[in-house]
Amino acid sequence: MSTQLFMPTFRVDECLEEIRECLEKGWTGLGFKTVQFEDRWKEYTGLENAHFLNSATVGLSLAFKILKMQNGWSDDAEVITTPLTFVSTNHAILYENLKPVFADVDEFLCLDPKDVESKITNKTKAILFVGIGGNAGRYLEIVDLCKKYDLALVLDAAHMAGTRINGKVPGNEADAVVYSFQAVKNLPTADSGMICFREKDNDELCRKLTWLGINKDTYARSNDKGAYKWKYDVEYVGYKYHGNSIMASIGLVQLKYLDQDNAYRKQLANWYDEGFRNQPNIRPVPMASNCDASRHLYVIEVDKRDELLLALNESEIYPGVHYRDNTEYKMYSYAKGSCPNSHRLSERILSLPMHLRMKKSDVDNVVEHIVKFTNM
């Protein structure tokens, strides 16, 4: 039997019951379950604002659009970001005609505060921190840099559902936090996301922009008796970015089990750690000491990564790579060579199978194949 990188687990009967309620009520779009999910997410995280979206990518785009609008940034404003991430992170900066400036990563695969500080100029307006694999890295040092230089902070928490730093969900110190509930994330739906602004005004503006710039959404214009208030105003050129009640229904169920599921992922990580102990040719990427990570990923650094990848595939083990150095892509090649550690690591890292359907025997099988290859 093959071992896949990701394989989401859904509580099918509970999800169907939540969805059934939407279908019976005749309300599958914005409102109803999306409101419930936002409220539960605020309770879970302790964040004051939360708006449910159709993806994390649009959340990052909205974060920069709204911060740019509210702060009067010009089109040549710079955002310091990481090259070791999925391209949607950095595309979101470009969507708003801002310039990504790449800083290098540290041993946690997250932004290195020293290199970040060296890249700050008078054009720098924000820092975008990615908690890769659920790892917090030196996030709190980045928070301090933002305070020191009066910069906005956006936290790409796509992998961080359930992560805690010093016992608390990170984000209250950021201007915006964006989560992903895409199909293979720790809290999977089919696809959706959440944006959590620190300022209420930004949250309210976001809600208008995600519904075509209309100042009242359809759900808010209906009451319990079904009367529909058709008259509204359009204040902005907005988008169709909001989430729907079907995805929120799945999210409501998945959220109930998030900490339990993450606890099992930590057990998988512990089994990997045990298997790779005293193996000098295999370096698991460490977790920050103050971080209770979601463990969305388990990443190792090895020599001959591509050869190992092929060898594992031949044994029906299918790992992944998170991620290719973005400056290797044509559109970001202007920064090629500016982040040597990221470039080196992106050719050496491998993400191992990590999902709730795995057993210790599956982990042992993956470990056995990797140890055998690296000791050849």
Same domain membership, residue 345 and residue 211: no
Q: Is pLDDT at 227 greater than 70 in this prediction?
A: no
Same domain membership, residue 277 and residue 247: no
Q: Quick check: is 5 in a domain? A: no
Same domain membership, residue 264 and residue 215: no
Could you tell me if 293 and 287 are in contact, meaning their C-beta atoms sit under 8 angstroms apart?
Answer: yes
CA 271 to CA 370: how far, in whole Å?
14
Q: Count how many domains the chain has.
A: 2
Q: How confident is the model at residue 229 (pLDDT cuts 50, 70, 90)?
A: low
Q: Tokens in use for 110?
A: 């997250």
Q: Which CATH number characterizes residue 237's domain? A: 3.40.640.10
Same domain membership, residue 285 and residue 251: no
Residues 6 or more apart whose Cβ sits within 8 Å of residue 24? none
Q: Which of 225, 228, 197, 223 is nearest to 210 (CA)?
A: 197
Q: Which of 48, 92, 40 is nearest to 201 (CA)?
A: 48
Same domain membership, residue 351 and residue 299: yes
Q: Give percent of the chain above pLDDT 90.
A: 94
Q: Quick check: is 6 in a domain? A: no
Strand, coil or helix: what is 296? coil
Structural domain span for residue 312 = 258-374
Distance between start and end Cα atoms, the chain: 25
Same domain membership, residue 240 and residue 266: no
pLDDT at 224: 47
The residue out of 237, 256, 275 marking a domain boundary is: 256
Q: How confident is the model at residue 232 (pLDDT cuts 50, 70, 90)?
A: confident
Secondary structure in 3-state letters for 176-196: EEEEECCCCCCCCCCCCEEEE
CA 335 to CA 102: how far, in whole Å?
7
Same domain membership, residue 263 and residue 243: no
Same domain membership, residue 287 and residue 250: no
Size (the chain), residues: 376
Strands, DSSP E only, in 211-313? 283-284, 291-292, 299-301
Q: What is the mean pLDDT of the chain?
A: 96
Section 135-146 average pLDDT: 98
Q: Which of 117, 79, 103 is nearest to 341 (CA)?
A: 103
Q: Is pLDDT at 43 greater than 90 in this prediction?
A: yes
Q: Is pLDDT at 154 greater than 60 in this prediction?
A: yes
Q: Report the run of H or E that residue 127 belongs to, with start and end.
A: strand 124-130
Same domain membership, residue 178 and residue 92: yes
Same domain membership, residue 340 and residue 238: no
Q: Which CATH number characterizes residue 358's domain? A: 3.90.1150.10
Q: Is pLDDT at 30 greater than 50 in this prediction?
A: yes
pLDDT tens digits along 98-132: 999 999 999 999 999 999 999 999 999 999 999 99
Same domain membership, residue 246 and residue 280: no
Q: Quick check: is 170 in a domain? A: yes
The residue out of 239, 256, 273 marking a domain boundary is: 256
Q: Is pLDDT at 297 greater than 90 in this prediction?
A: yes
